Amino acid sequence: GAGVSQSPSNKVTEKGKDVELRCDPISGHTALYWYRQSLGQGLEFLIYFQGNSAPDKSGLPSDRFSAERTGGSVSTLTIQRTQQEDSAVYLCASSFLQEQYFGPGTRLTVT
């Protein structure tokens, strides 16, 4: 069956521009996570959506980062006024019974 998909796979943007990263989770998965993985680093938790509950935004590094999940399905991570330190791979995972299924990630490069 279809797994988690993310788009775009690669994004190069200029410093100061806004970017939107999209995640299409596995149908029926009620939980969704966003992570950031910088070069050679582990997983940095960003945000967690579970059903209709208020999202856990405790991992968002600044107010330039925001995310939404529409209709309990597709999620969009938005980074405003991008900075060079935002360059990383952004991973999305949807979850069922706490088991996470990861997408391939979006590699963001801020020049």
Partner 1 sequence: AQSVTQPDIHITVSEGASLELRCNYSYGATPYLFWYVQSPGQGLQLLLKYFSGDTLVQGIKGFEAEFKRSQSSFNLRKPSVHWSDAAEYFCAVGPNSGGYQKVTFGIGTKLQVIP
- Where on the chain is the footprint of partner 1 (CB under 8 A)? 31, 33, 35, 42-43, 45, 48, 50, 53, 56, 91, 93, 95, 98-100, 102-105
Please report, for residues 27, 48, 63, 84, the alpha-carbon distance to residue 39 in angstroms, rounded to integers and kept in the order given: 30, 22, 23, 13
Q: Reduced to 3 states, what is the DSSP secondary structure of residue 72?
A: helix
CA distance 106 to 92: 9
Nearer to partner 1, 82 or 95 (CB): 95
Nearer to partner 1, 84 or 98 (CB): 98
At closest approach, how far in Å is the CB of 75 from partner 1? 15
Nearer to partner 1, 13 or 100 (CB): 100
Q: Reduced to 3 states, what is the DSSP secondary structure of residue 79?
A: strand
Beta bridge partners of 75: 23, 69
At closest approach, how far in Å is the CB of 17 from partner 1? 27
Nearer to partner 1, 3 or 16 (CB): 3
CA distance 2 to 37: 24
At closest approach, how far in Å is the CB of 42 from partner 1? 4
- Both structure tokens of 16: 């100061």
At closest approach, how far in Å is the CB of 48 from partner 1? 5
